[in-house]
Amino acid sequence: MRLIQYFVPGKGLRVGLVRDAAVVDITARRDGLTSTAAWLQAAGGSPARWRRLLGPFLRGKGRTGLTEQGLDVTPSPRRPHLRIPVDPPEVWGAGITYRRSADFRDRDAKTSMYDYVYTSPRPELFFKATAARCVGPNAPVRVRSDSALTAAEPELALVLGPKGVLAGFTVCNDVSAWDLERENALFLPQSKIFADCCALGPAVVTADAVGDPYALGITCRILRGGAVRWAGETNTRDFRRRFEELIEYLVRDNVIPAGTVLATGTGIMVPNEHCLRPGDVVEIAITGLGVLRNPVASARTSRAGRRAPAS
């Protein structure tokens, strides 16, 4: 199943099931099912329970006349558009899960600590964002104000249900200020966590609909002035760890709510000379999940000239 969240003028946030590109409105206010996270909690990651809950919608209830492609437009309060597919109470990241990531980071940081993490039984896990720091399709990600090297990190992300069950997948851009992390590893939280530092979308695809998650192609394009500035690709077959391993470490002594997202690390290392600039557009595509497209903007500032919180 393919789940989206979208906005309709006069109705607000809606939850949609995409069937043959058409959007079925599965928002069920009477049952409290008004978000993707609420559906994940109710279904508990069980395909059989998904089918039971969605029975009326699969039989024709909730048809809208909208399509996912038609909703994939710049957000505006005046027209229907895609929103972030799940408002994650927490976003976590895993690092150094691809060989090229370890090599690239050790070379630039002039250290061997990333290679150590790559071979260690314990994975690197870090807190990345809350829903307020995340954006959805076509909404701007941000360049950190005190960074000269903020980069896109294209990643497959796990969407978790109750008790950490793997419920689905989505596309993630783990925007990161690499120069801060390279200056000192203790600056990692600042390199990762800032306003609009994480993009998710365009949909959550349930785990039973993905096929082999270790054979998914991932591509990234950075466009500048409408032209492709840089492009790269990888495949999850080069992923070193198992998703169950990452989840087990994440939930160890750590209770996470349904709707939590775990980004699994990047195997596409954008060269330093192609770091993000305001006006760029980042496009990330993953087989079966779709294309996540986001423009790049400068850091948010308030009227007083300070960084403003994400909305």
Instruction: Note the pLDDT tens digit of each residue in 24-38.
Output: 999 999 889 999 999
Per-residue pLDDT for 188 more than 60?
yes
- Judge contact between 54 and 27, C-beta under 8 A: no
For the chain, the C-alpha Rg in angstroms (whole number) is: 19
Q: Where are the domains of the chain?
A: 2-83, 91-297
Specify the CATH number of the domain 91-297.
Answer: 3.90.850.10
CB neighbours of residue 242 within 10 Å: 11
Span 103-128, pLDDT tens digits? 555 455 555 688 888 889 999 999 99
Average pLDDT, rounded, for the chain: 91
Given the DSSP bridges, would you call strands 141-142 and 290-297 parallel, antiparallel or unpaired?
Answer: parallel
Distances (CA, A) of 47 to 26, 206, 244: 16, 9, 18
What pLDDT was estimated at residue 218?
A: 98
Q: Say how far residue 193 (Cα) sits from the centre of its chain.
A: 14
Question: What share of the chain in percent tops pLDDT 70?
Answer: 92
CB neighbours of residue 111 within 10 Å: 13
Average pLDDT over residues 225-237: 96
pLDDT band at residue 59 using 50, 70 and 90 as cut-offs: confident
Per-residue pLDDT for 21 more than 50?
yes
Average pLDDT over residues 267-293: 96
